[in-house]
Amino acid sequence: MQNSRLEKLLEFIKNEPEDPFLKYALATEYLRLNQTDIALTYYEDLINNHPNYVGTYYHLGKLYEALNRKDDAIKTYETGMKVTKEQRDNHAFSELQAVYREVVGEDEDDY
């Protein structure tokens, strides 16, 4: 039963291989199934081919953190903040800013 969601998503992406929502859903599902290498591939594909899909930056950054790739996480958060600022997505920007500050060791009092 657990794989039925994954199977459905894989079937959907066959018909729409460049759909960013489906790629994001697959990344999230693979992460849920503890297949981080495949999740990472989908998240990185989104960053490279769909840079305006803002939800990716937070989750990819968190995955990099979990994989002890702090520099990659910081870079991902920085890029995400730039993209969200350009899109005037204040909510996503503030979420990215919060995790960025946390990973670089800054407090809000530093500002």
pLDDT, tens digit only, all 111 positions of the chain: 456 999 999 999 999 999 999 999 999 999 999 999 999 999 999 999 999 999 999 999 999 999 999 999 999 999 999 999 999 999 999 999 999 999 999 865 554
CA distance 11 to 32: 18
Residue range 2-105, CATH number? 1.25.40.10
The C-alpha atoms of residue 60 and residue 55 are separated, in whole angstroms, by 9
Taking residue 26's Cβ as centre, other Cβ atoms within 10 Å add up to: 24
| DSSP code for 106 | -
Q: Would you call 25 helix, strand, or coil by DSSP?
A: helix
pTM of the complete model: 0.89
User: Residue 109 has what pLDDT?
Assistant: 55
Q: How far apart are CA 84 and CA 96, in angstroms?
A: 9
